[in-house]
Structure 1
Amino acid sequence: MLLRVLLCLPAAAMLAPGGAAAQGVFNMGMLTNTLSQGGSTQSENARASTSSVFRSMARAPRSAAVNHAAITYRPSTAVRQRNMQGFVARLSKVDPKGAADLQRTFARRDVVAEVGGVMRPVGLNPNNVADAMAMYLVAAYYGVRGSVDSKPADYKAVSAQMARAISTTPGFANASDALKQEIAESMLVQAVLVDQAVQAAQKQPSAMPSIKAAIAKGSRAAFGFDVTKMQLGPNGLS
């Protein structure tokens, strides 16, 4: 359950609007809509980059060298604000109320900074695209199985796999810091949302099937593969 450990508090406390978390109230409709819009939480350029990573996963051997410059970026506060605004704007097209809830959350706290602050002590870097992708993909892998029982080794394995894939993905080496930051921050926010949704659905089992389906749809939109059919092992996802 590394994501829950990383967050150091229920994800709902980070993203639920107002006092909803304290009251144990979850907007399952908002969560479902948000999770199912995985591809829509990124710009077209970001979606093209993440989908091309999937094509590189199968091609990159485990011995492939990692281009560390391609997987890291220098974060910008202005870019982060723009990313959160874009996230809300794209969600508003399918769920205006949910988008308004997220807008209020983003106005109150820097979710990405909070997640990053607890990633670093366990060896994960929020400014590393591979680490951020691993946060989301591991959460999604367990999420479609109705679980949040991830292990630290899961994140390390998927991060290494993503790092090799990014290093062999055309265009990533020359991608701007802003594009890499958008991809990474989208992954981190969606990882929190997945964790929140699964924890909420565990307390409201009737919602679990729709949450699982939304997570699966979102990961397909973002990466182009069906996480429900994949296996997670020491070498990552296969």
Structure 2
Amino acid sequence: MKTATWIALATAGIIPTVPVNAQTYGTFDMGMLTNTLSQSAVTNAETARASERLPLTRSLRFSAARSDATLPSSAQLSYRPSAAAQKQNFAQFIAQTRAVDPDSAGKLEHLLTSVDVMGEVQKQLGRYGMRTDNLADALAAYLASAWFATRASTDDPTPAQMQGLRNQVACAIGASPEFADATDAMKQQLAEANLIQAVIISGYAETAKAQPALRAQITNTVAEAARKAYGLDLRSMSLGDHGLVPD
């Protein structure tokens, strides 16, 4: 099945699909949303990373998912969502955006306050047996959205692609010491940042497909944001049944 965007909030009228300029794009750079996560909440050895303002996701090391790989336990990947924490996270995302681009902050605030965003995203993730309260699922949703957007594609990922990518991310999280002591609050903040970004990127993919004049700008910006956040060059990778692999 094809949809206008695989996390299909834009086509439901929840976020406006308007022409996007460079200033607006900078606002939703994934690095901006994740750089403010508390590194000390995971490990006190993260001082160097915090001083360099590198997002926690850069600690992940990806390798092609294997069918015989041992996945982390559900307790390592899942978290118990808190409505109070979500309210705080959303307010923080809006405030960070407002400091860079007040107009885009207004649009983001409308998105986050006019609808149950996580509930709507869960409807889409549920088609793949995935959940918003699972960190691996949330990060995989962002990476899938970004990969398709770098190709100006609005295709749905296949279930096999999403399962492979989810397992790839889960193994990377399980192998990263920085995530070993992650709290529910930290997992929720990182998951929500990734899922919100996935929704926005899905809308941008629609714009890139519909407006060729903006295509290069959009695909380049999404690719650069993913590189900063994850250290991955999505434009030189394929998305298959084993996740993201170099071309």
Same fold by TM (over 0.5)? yes
The corresponding residue for 1:45 is 38
Structure 1 residue 168 corresponds to structure 2 residue 160: no
Structure 1 residue 32 corresponds to structure 2 residue 25: yes
How far has the Cα of 1:7 moved from its partner? 4.2
How far has the Cα of 1:10 moved from its partner? 3.4
State the distance in 2 between where 1:60 and 1:45 align: 29
Structure 1 residue 223 corresponds to structure 2 residue 234: no
Q: Aligned runs of 1:44-63 on 2, under 5 Å?
A: 44-45=37-38, 48-53=55-60, 55=61, 57-58=62-63, 63=69
Contact 2:5–2:154, Cα closer than 8 Å, also in 1: no
Structure 1: which 5+ residue stretches go unaligned?
17-24
State the distance in 2 between where 1:2 and 1:69 align: 33
The corresponding residue for 1:75 is 81
**TM-score relative to the length of structure 1:** 0.85
State the distance in 2 between where 1:6 and 1:44 align: 27
How far has the Cα of 1:107 moved from its partner? 2.0
State the distance in 2 between where 1:5 and 1:98 align: 20
How far has the Cα of 1:220 moved from its partner? 1.3
* Cα shift readout 1:181-211 (whole Å, capped 9, x = no counterpart): 0111111111111110110222211111111
Report SS of the residue matched to 1:66: coil
**TM-score relative to the length of structure 2:** 0.82
Quick one: which amino acid aligns to residue 114 of structure 1? E
* Cα shift readout 1:51-107 (whole Å, capped 9, x = no counterpart): 112x2x249875234232111100011111111111122222322210122112222
Q: Aligned in 2, Cα 1:182/1:225: closer, same or farther, shift over 3 Å?
A: same
State the distance in 2 between where 1:158 and 1:219 align: 15
State the distance in 2 between where 1:133 and 1:194 align: 13
State the distance in 1 between where 2:33 and 2:169 align: 20
Q: Aligned runs of 1:111-126 on 2, under 5 Å?
A: 111-126=117-132
State the distance in 2 between where 1:181 and 1:139 align: 19
Count the aligned residue pairs. 227
Structure 2: which 5+ residue stretches go unaligned?
40-53
Contact 1:133–1:162, Cα closer than 8 Å, also in 2: yes
Output the aligned Cα RMSD.
2.4
Quick one: which amino acid aligns to residue 13 of structure 1? G
Structure 1 residue 232 corresponds to structure 2 residue 225: no
Q: Aligned in 2, Cα 1:165/1:93: closer, same or farther, shift over 3 Å?
A: same
Q: Aligned in 2, Cα 1:225/1:7: closer, same or farther, shift over 3 Å?
A: closer
Give % identity.
32
- Structure 1 runs of 4+ aligned residues shifted over 3 Å read 1-12, 44-48, 58-62
Contact 1:69–1:173, Cα closer than 8 Å, also in 2: no
Contact 2:71–2:170, Cα closer than 8 Å, also in 1: no
Match 1:205 to one of 212, 215, 219: 212
The corresponding residue for 2:46 is none
Contact 2:64–2:242, Cα closer than 8 Å, also in 1: no
Larger fraction in helix? 1
Report SS of the residue matched to 1:200: helix
Contact 1:11–1:195, Cα closer than 8 Å, also in 2: no
Match 1:196 to one of 183, 200, 203: 203
Contact 1:60–1:168, Cα closer than 8 Å, also in 2: no
Worse overlay, 177-186 or 201-210? 201-210
Q: Aligned runs of 1:63-102 on 2, under 5 Å?
A: 63-102=69-108
